[in-house]
Structures are given as structure tokens and as C-alpha cells.
Amino acid sequence: MKTMNKVIRFCVVLSALVCVSQLASAQPPPPSNPAAVPIDGGLSILLAAGAGLGLKKIYDIRKTDQQKVAKRLATLPCLFYSGVVC
């Protein structure tokens, strides 16, 4: 009988702890307008930094491509350039 009381007491305490933990970790309901997403200062700074880095990468790629084209034009003896045959 004492063992049965310990088992019942353990089950009651365990279920109470599970219920309390579920209530404590409950999330608030979602906002009424899901399109309204709060963007704080940190996220906007990260977006601006990412856009800046992307623009710099594009600029560097275009610059190196132009340098490669200029070098190729200087080394080739004859090329169709601007519609003029040399």
C-alpha cells in the first residue's frame, strides 16, 4: 500500500510539473495583422550592410571585367571593335 501511494504521489507531482511547464512556456497569440512585421534598428543595419557589400562586389566584378577587356584589346593585333575592322 505504501508503494502504491508513492507511485500515485509521484504521478500526480509529475503531471503537475508538466502542466505548469506547459503553461509557463505558452506563447502569446499571433498579431492581428501578419503583414506588420517589426523591423528594429539592428535588422535594418544588417540589411544596409548587406546591400553595401553586394554593391561593392558588383563594382569590383565590373571593374575587373573592364580591365580584362582592355588588356585583351591591347594585346590582340586585329579585332572587330566598334564596327571598325582593323
Stated pTM of the model: 0.39
Percent of residues, the chain, with pLDDT higher than 90: 9
Cell numbers at residue 76, please? 590582340
Query: For residues 79 and 77, which has the higher predicted lDDT (pLDDT)?
Result: 77
Task: Render 8-51 in DSSP notation, one character per residue.
Answer: HHHHHHHHHHHHHHHHHTPPPPPPS-TT-----HHHHHHHHHHH
Q: Report the distance separating Cα 30 and Cα 7, nearest Å.
A: 40
pLDDT at residue 45 in the model: 85
Residue 84 φ then ψ, to 5°: -105, 130
pLDDT of residue 12: 92
